[in-house]
Amino acid sequence: MILGRTLDERMLGLQRQGRIGFYGPATGQEAVSLGAWLAIAESDWVFPGLREQLLALARGHSLVTYMHHLFADDLDPARGRQMPCHPTAREVRYVSMSSVIGTQISQAVGLAYGQKLRHDPGVALAFFGDGATSANDFHAGMNFAGALSLPVVFCLTNNQWAISIPVQRQTHVDVLAEKANAYGFSGVRIDGTDVVAVHAALKEALDRARTGGGPSLIEFVVFRMTPHSSSDDPSRYQPADFLVRGRARDPVARLARLLRDRGVLDDEVVRTVAADADARVRSAVKEAEATAPPDARSLTTDVFLPPGSGGG
């Protein structure tokens, strides 16, 4: 979680310096990614929203490779063709998201349908924000998953803002998790700043999906402690006390207090972890900045089939 926080601070700074083009921080939502990492199996697939990069890194995606993606250089797996903060990490079953809101929901459901047909033990996890519950893919995905009892877990990270629109202006439902009832499966709201609660809820939902119990919707209530992205200025629309309330429920600080109470964390460990995270991020930045941009000739690579290759 400290690595994720360090990455956010460093990348926002680099974006302001013009060294990268865009960044979407996950500060305040780290407990969701880490709780998920502790709960999922190797066979499970992740369809992320904008703020689950830490889950890919925790599963084993290289921080250096992710940095190449942020710099859109020649070693970026997407060769600079995808939006920054939309990493592709097939090796850890982490599917590149789309900037179109909610599309990952129906995509995860489609994969879950395939998993069920193949009798594959894997579960699909779809991560999305409160704003995506107002998108058509939310209804289509939830309805299809419920009707066919598919192995998918809908992970709704309710950070209370769809960029500048508060959740109260999107829906008259007070608890978004209750929307699951209309599709015939269970929904639960939990504190998404509590790693222990996140892990417990996800483990139960994943076990249910894996054993034929069908889908679940989990609403993780979190605080977006930064701008929506490097293109946003929340001071123009958020109440003055929102960030104060968010800091009071900072997931990193909450976990630190828990570990200190258990006697397994002290100041020396914190300093060591923070120094290691800072060194890893700085090293990855240095390597990515030293890498050339994609060759212009790569623009059509993987787009057109060579003549005579048998393509339709």
Q: Report the catalytic residues.
A: 224, 228, 237
Structure tokens at 98: 């789309």
The set of long-range contacts for 291-299, using a CB threshold of 8 Å and a minimum separation of 24, is 291/68, 291/71, 291/73, 291/74, 291/75, 292/73, 292/74, 293/72, 293/73, 293/74, 293/80, 294/72, 294/73, 294/74, 294/76, 294/79, 294/80, 295/74, 298/74, 298/79
